[in-house]
């Protein structure tokens, strides 16, 4: 009698399901029997021990703009397959996809009580958001690393399905989750500390037992000498864009920013502007976008001579789930543009 195989459900986005790209990113969740897209490689990596019984698909934009609803819908579709295990992705460096994969795995663990695992690039915003709750296997930044990561993802997933004890991140290859456990060590703490200190002094490699977070430290610029003559720009991560969101800035995990003219505008109205942001209730921002990007007040200050002038363009992106790497890239590009335009100061608004 053949041994029973683990039942696996695979979660992927519209792109890897070969439905389409950004033009199909708003499709709601759907389920298909068996293997789809990268599930073929995952099926081979799982071998005879597990079977992909179903694939659940959701558009990245739909999920990002309807996180709670989409999570519930996806979990219901997964539940119908009666799986023993859920695998999401790999998402690589696709921010919305990574966030969805993390959210799906967290919801499956919470709602269905079964193991789940995903894989993505370390700088994917989904990794920052969900690595404390979900096992995440690191990948390269593009699908070029698919062939390498699928065996690692499958091997780890099978360990979860078997209920085996999971070792440390360095032993198992998943992203560190910030969880500390007491273990028995060969040497007392004082000796381990001295060994690390001596290795550091002599330039030898060593691994700390308590990695600390690294934070950027940016020295403040000197104050503007004469604000009454200064050109001041407005920049926001609150998603304020012209009506219709012409650059299609994503509601979550933004991959771009926009530059928009303010020439001839004294006020932002519901007919001219809206927010593209998916991380807060847009009602009040859509009623009056000046609440997030205060052009009306800046024009008052300009007329009163309290500032020199408002720069003719504003810059906008969405901070919701956006990766640190993308945010840093946006900031550098915007700063370069503003500096070249002779802008003296920036008011940066968020939500």
- What is the pLDDT at residue 314? 97
Residue from 72, 107, 104, 76 nearest 91 by CA? 104
Span 225-270, pLDDT tens digits = 999 999 999 999 999 999 999 999 988 778 899 999 999 999 999 9
Count of helices and strands (H, E) across the chain: 11, 12
- What is the pLDDT at residue 200? 93
- What is the pLDDT at residue 1? 41
In terms of C-beta density within 10 A (0-12 exposed, 13-18 middle, 19 or more buried), how is residue 12 classed?
buried
- What is the pLDDT at residue 182? 76
- What is the pLDDT at residue 158? 96
Residue ranges in the chain modelled with pLDDT below 70: 1-3
* Distance in angstroms (rounded) separating the CA atoms of residues 107 and 134: 10
> What does each C-alpha distance from 193 to 179, 198, 204 come to in angstroms?
20, 9, 14
Bridge pairing between strands 309-316 and 231-236: parallel
Task: Determine the Cα angle at 79 with ends 78 and 82, to 5°.
Answer: 105
CA atoms within 13 A on the CB side of 101: 33
Structural domains of the chain ordered from first start: 6-172 (3.40.50.2000), 227-349 (no CATH)
DSSP classification of residue 132: T
Q: In what order do the strands lie in the sheet with 231-236?
A: 258-261, 309-316, 231-236, 345-349
């Amino acid at each position: 009698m053949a041994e029973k195989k683990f039942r696996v459900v695979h979660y992927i986005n519209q792109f890897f399901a070969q439905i389409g790209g950004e033009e199909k990113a708003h499709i709601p969740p759907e389920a298909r029997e068996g293997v789809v897209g990268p599930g073929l490689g995952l099926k081979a990596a799982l071998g005879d021990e597990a079977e992909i019984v179903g694939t659940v698909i959701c558009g990245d934009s739909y999920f990002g703009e309807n996180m709670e609803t989409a999570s519930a819908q996806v979990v219901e579709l997964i539940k119908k397959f009666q799986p023993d295990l859920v695998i999401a992705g790999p998402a690589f460096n696709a921010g919305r996809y990574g966030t969805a994969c993390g959210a799906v795995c967290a919801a499956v663990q919470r709602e269905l009580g079964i193991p789940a695992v995903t894989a993505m690039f370390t700088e994917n915003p989904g990794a920052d958001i969900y690595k404390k709750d979900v096992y995440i296997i690191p990948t390269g930044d593009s699908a070029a690393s698919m062939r390498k990561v699928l065996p690692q993802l499958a091997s780890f997933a099978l360990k979860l399905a078997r209920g085996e004890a999971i070792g440390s991140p360095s032993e198992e290859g998943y992203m560190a989750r910030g969880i500390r456990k007491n273990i028995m060590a060969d040497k007392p703490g004082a000796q381990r500390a001295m060994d690390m200190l001596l290795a550091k002094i002599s330039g030898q490699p060593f691994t700390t037992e308590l990695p600390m977070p690294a934070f950027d430290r940016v020295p403040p610029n000197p104050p503007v000498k004469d604000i009454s003559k200064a050109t001041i720009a407005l920049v926001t991560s609150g998603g304020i864009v012209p009506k219709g969101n012409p650059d299609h800035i994503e509601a979550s995990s933004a991959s771009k920013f926009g530059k928009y003219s303010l020439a001839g505008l004294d006020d932002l109205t519901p007919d001219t502007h809206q927010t593209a942001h998916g991380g807060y209730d847009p009602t009040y921002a859509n009623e009056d976008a000046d609440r997030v990007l205060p052009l009306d007040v800046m024009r008052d200050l300009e007329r009163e001579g309290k500032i020199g002038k408002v720069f003719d363009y504003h810059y906008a992106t969405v901070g919701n789930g956006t990766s640190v790497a993308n945010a840093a890239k946006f900031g550098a590009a915007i700063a370069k543009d503003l500096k070249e335009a002779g802008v003296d100061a920036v008011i940066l608004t968020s939500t």
